[in-house]
Structure 1
Amino acid sequence: MTPSTLTHRFKLAIFLIASLAGAASAGEVQPSKKTANTQTAVQGPPYATRPEAMQFADDLASRRDLDPAWVREAIGQSRYNATVARLMQPATKPFVKNWKVYRSRFIDPIRIEAGRRFWLENQASLARAEKEYGVPPEIIVGIIGVETIYGRDTGSFRVMDALSTLAFDFPASHPRAQERSEYFKGEIEQFLTLQSRLGNDPFEAKGSYAGAMGMPQFMPSSWVKYAVDFDGDGKIDLWNSPADVIGSVASYFKAFDWKPGMPTHYPVSFDSSRLDMDALMAPDILPTFSVASFTAKGAVLEGQALQHQGPLALIELLNGPDAPTYVAGTENFYAITRYNWSSYYAMAVIELGREVAARVKP
C-alpha cells in the first residue's frame, strides 16, 4: 500500500466515525470452534479516535525506526471487532473437559484424508525437514492438520483489527487482561515491523480471531523468530508455500528443544498399593520425574519406557463422567504444548499424525 492510499483510507475512516460509533454489540452467543475463525462485520470506530492507541503508534514508530505517519495510519484505521473480544472472554458456564469429545473434532476422516494427500504431495520437504531439524513428518503433518486442515481454514479476520482489539480493548473480565493486552501490543509491533520490511499492505493479511496467520497459524512474533524460507524462493509464505510451512513448523520445534528420536509419550498404569497421585500430578505437564522416581510413586511403565533417558510427566486427559486417560509424557510431548499450551491439543496432534502416517507408510 502506498502512503497516499493509506491517507485516503484514513480520511474516509474518520469521515465515517459518527455513523459507526456505538455499533459494537454484546451478549451474542459464542460461535463454535468450527466457525470461530470466520470474520463478522467490523463493529467499532477506527482506533484513530483513541489517544492511547495513537500514542502507542508514535512510540512504536520511534522504537522500530518506522515511518510515523504509516504506523499511525495503520493502527488508526484498525477497528474494534466485538466478535474478537467476545471469543477472548472467559467461559461463563462450567466447562467439563472430555478428551474423547475433543479427539473426535480433530481425528476424523476428512482431516485424515487431507493429511494423507498433503504428506504425499510434500514428501521431499517433510523428509528434508526431519533431516535438518529432527522433527518427524507425522508431528509436522499433525500440527498443520489440527490448526487449519492443511490450509482450508486459515481465518478471515483482518489481522490488524484482531490485534488492535486485543491490544486496546482486551476484555476486562479476563483474569489476565492487562498481561494479555501487553502481549498483543507486542504482536502489533512485530506485525507492523514485518509488514514494513516486506512492503506489504498491513490490511491484506487475514487470520484467526487472535491474529494467528497462515497454514501453521503463527503469531507475528513466531513468524519473525521461527519462520524460514524452506523453498528457497527468497520470501517466506506461510499461506501458499507448503515447503515454507513445513520448514517453519520444524524450525519452531527445534527452537523449543525437540529431541530427535525421542517418543512423545508412553503407556502408563498404576500400582494402587504405592500410588501417590498428588505427587505425580503436582508438576502438571512439565517433565520432572526420572523413571525411578516416577515408578517409585506408583506409576507403572513397561518395555521401552523403562529405558527412557530424561524426565517424564504424568499427563491426565479427563473424559467427562468417565475415567480419565493417562500417559507418561516426555520432553517432546511438552515441546508440542509450547505450540498450544494444552495436553489435549498435543495428544490430538500426535494421534492425527499417526493416523495419517498409517495411511501413507507401507
Structure 2
Amino acid sequence: MIPDLHTPLSPAPERQRLRLLGALAGASALALAGCGTPPKPADTAPAPVPRPGAAPAPIALNGSYAQRADVMAQVPDMARRLGLPETYVRNAIGNADFLPSVPRLILPSGKGVRRSWRVYRSRFIDNTRIRAGVQFWNENATQLQKAEREYGVPAKYIVGIVGVETIYGRNVGNMRVIDTLSTLSFDFPQAHPRAEQRNAFFRSELEHYLQLTWQNRDDPLTLRGSYAGAMGLPQFMPSSWVKHAVDFDRDGHIDLFDSPTDVVGSVAHYFKQYGWVSGLEPVYDVNFDQSRLQLATLLAPDITPTFTPEQFGELGAMPVGLPAGFRHKLALIELENGYAPATYYAGTDNFYVITRYNNSSYYAKAVIDLANEVERAMQRQAN
C-alpha cells in the first residue's frame, strides 16, 4: 500500500522479528522505561526537507547513518516532537543503513514508457495467485464473513487486496524497514518529479514507524518490508498501520505479519474508513455512442466519481448492467494498452476507495479482477 508505487515485491525470506519485552537495561539498552502508556502522536509537522533543485544532501555511500552528522543532529528534535526517548530514536536511526538501490527503485518510469493494462494485469491475475487466494479464503472464511458483516466489505475484495499485495504473505518484502524509510527520509532522490512532496511523505512514515515500534514494543531494527517501507501481508505503511489497523482477533496486539485475522479485519476497516458503500459494485463495463461521445469531458475528473448515470449517457457513455434506481456518481476509467486502443470502465465510489489503498486505476482493476477470479474458483470448488 504505497501511493503511486506499483512495482511488485521480490520474494522475501522468512521474517526475523524480535519482541522487546519490557524496559531494556545495560549499556546496549534503548532506555525504554515507561513504555506502558503509548505517547500521544505529535501534531507538529516533520522538519522541512530540501526543495527540488537545492544542493543535494550528502549521500551515505556506505555504512550506517550514525556516520552522518547532519542526520544525527536531527535526532533530539525528532525525539522531542514524537514524545520518544532520545536514546531510542538515536539507536534506531544510527543503526539504519543507506540502501543505494532504494532511491533508484522509487523513481518513476522514464518518459516515453507506455503503460499497458494487459501487461499490468498479467502480473497479478494468474493461476498461482488464484489458487493461493482460494486457500486463503478457505482458511479464513469465518474471519472474512465477520469482516463483511462488520464493515460491509465483500470477502472477495479483501482476498483480492492481499493477493495483489503479497500473494497472501509469500512476498512481504525483505528489506529492513528502518533502512528503507531512513534512506527515503534523508537521501530522497532529487530527480523525482515530486521530490519535496514524496520526501515529506517518507519522513512522516519514518516518524510513524518509530512511534509504532515503540508502542508495540517491537525492535525497530528487525521488521522487514518493501523498498518503500510497507509491511505485512496487506503491505500497510506505518501511518496506515497506526490509523487503520485493527486487533480483529482480540488478542491485545495488532499483527499484520502473522495474524490473518488482523489482516482481514484491517483491510476491511481501511476500506470502511475511506467510505466503502455496502452493496455497491466498484466497476461496470461501458459502451460508447460515438455520435455523442465527449471523451475529454468524461476523463477530466480522472478517477473521481463525478457524473450521474444520466450525465454519463448525455456525454456518450452507457454503463452496462446498472441496477434499477442506481443513484451513485460515476467516473470514466481509462486503462491504456500501449499502442493498442485503451480499455474503459465506469467506476463508482467503491472503485475510488480501492485507489485509496494504492493511487492507481490499474491497481484497483487488478484487485477487482483477482477478487472475481478467486470467487469463481471458489464457486467451482463448491460445485
TM-score bracket, normalised by the shorter chain, equals 0.7 to 0.9
Q: Would you say the 8 A contact 2:287–2:320 is kept in 1?
A: no
* 2:230 paired residue among 186, 206, 212: 212
Cα distance in 1 for residues equivalent to 2:322 and 2:218: 51
Cα distance in 1 for residues equivalent to 2:150 and 2:61: 46
Greater shift in the superposed pair: 196-205 or 344-353: 196-205
* RMSD between superposed Cα atoms in Å: 1.7
Structure 1: state its 5+ residue gaps: 9-41
Report the Cα offset of residue 4 of structure 1.
4.4
Cα distance in 2 for residues equivalent to 1:182 and 1:174: 13
SS at match of 1:165: helix
1:205/1:3 Cα in 2 relative to 1: closer, same or farther (>3 Å)?
farther
Moved over 6 A (4+): none
Q: Which residue of 2 aligns with 1:321?
A: 339
Report the Cα offset of residue 64 of structure 1.
2.0
Structure 2: state its 5+ residue gaps: 1-19, 31-59
Matched, 1:187 2:205: yes
SS at match of 1:326: strand
Q: Equivalent residues in 2 for 1:256-275 (5 A)?
A: 256-275=274-293
Q: What TM-score comes out, normalization by structure 2 length?
A: 0.83
* 2:301 paired residue among 249, 261, 283: 283
Cα distance in 2 for residues equivalent to 1:146 and 1:188: 24
Matched, 1:336 2:348: no
Q: Which residue of 1 aligns with 2:96?
A: 78
Report the Cα offset of residue 5 of structure 1.
6.7
Cα distance in 1 for residues equivalent to 2:323 and 2:283: 9
Q: Which residue of 2 aligns with 1:47?
A: 65
1:150/1:43 Cα in 2 relative to 1: closer, same or farther (>3 Å)?
farther
1:154/1:237 Cα in 2 relative to 1: closer, same or farther (>3 Å)?
same
Cα distance in 2 for residues equivalent to 1:43 and 1:242: 38
Cα distance in 2 for residues equivalent to 1:43 and 1:122: 45
Aligned AA for 1:225? K
1:5/1:149 Cα in 2 relative to 1: closer, same or farther (>3 Å)?
farther
Q: Which residue of 2 aligns with 1:28?
A: none
Structure 1 or 2: more helix by fraction: 1
Aligned AA for 1:57? V
Name the count of aligned residue pairs.
329
Q: Equivalent residues in 2 for 1:1-362 (5 A)?
A: 2=24, 4=26, 6=28, 44-304=62-322, 307-361=325-379, 362=382
Cα distance in 1 for residues equivalent to 2:267 and 2:163: 12
Cα distance in 1 for residues equivalent to 2:211 and 2:369: 37
Percent identity over the alignment is 52
Cα distance in 1 for residues equivalent to 2:320 and 2:266: 35
Q: What TM-score comes out, normalization by structure 1 length?
A: 0.87
1:137/1:198 Cα in 2 relative to 1: closer, same or farther (>3 Å)?
same
Report the Cα offset of residue 45 of structure 1.
2.3
Report the Cα offset of residue 161 of structure 1.
0.3
Report the Cα offset of residue 90 of structure 1.
2.8
Cα distance in 2 for residues equivalent to 1:5 and 1:292: 70
Greater shift in the superposed pair: 56-65 or 131-140: 56-65
Q: Which residue of 2 aligns with 1:12?
A: none
SS at match of 2:98: coil
SS at match of 1:268: strand
Cα distance in 2 for residues equivalent to 1:224 and 1:90: 27
- Can you list the C-alpha shifts for 1:175-210, whole angstroms capped at 9, x where unaligned? 111211111111111111111122221011000000
1:149/1:335 Cα in 2 relative to 1: closer, same or farther (>3 Å)?
same
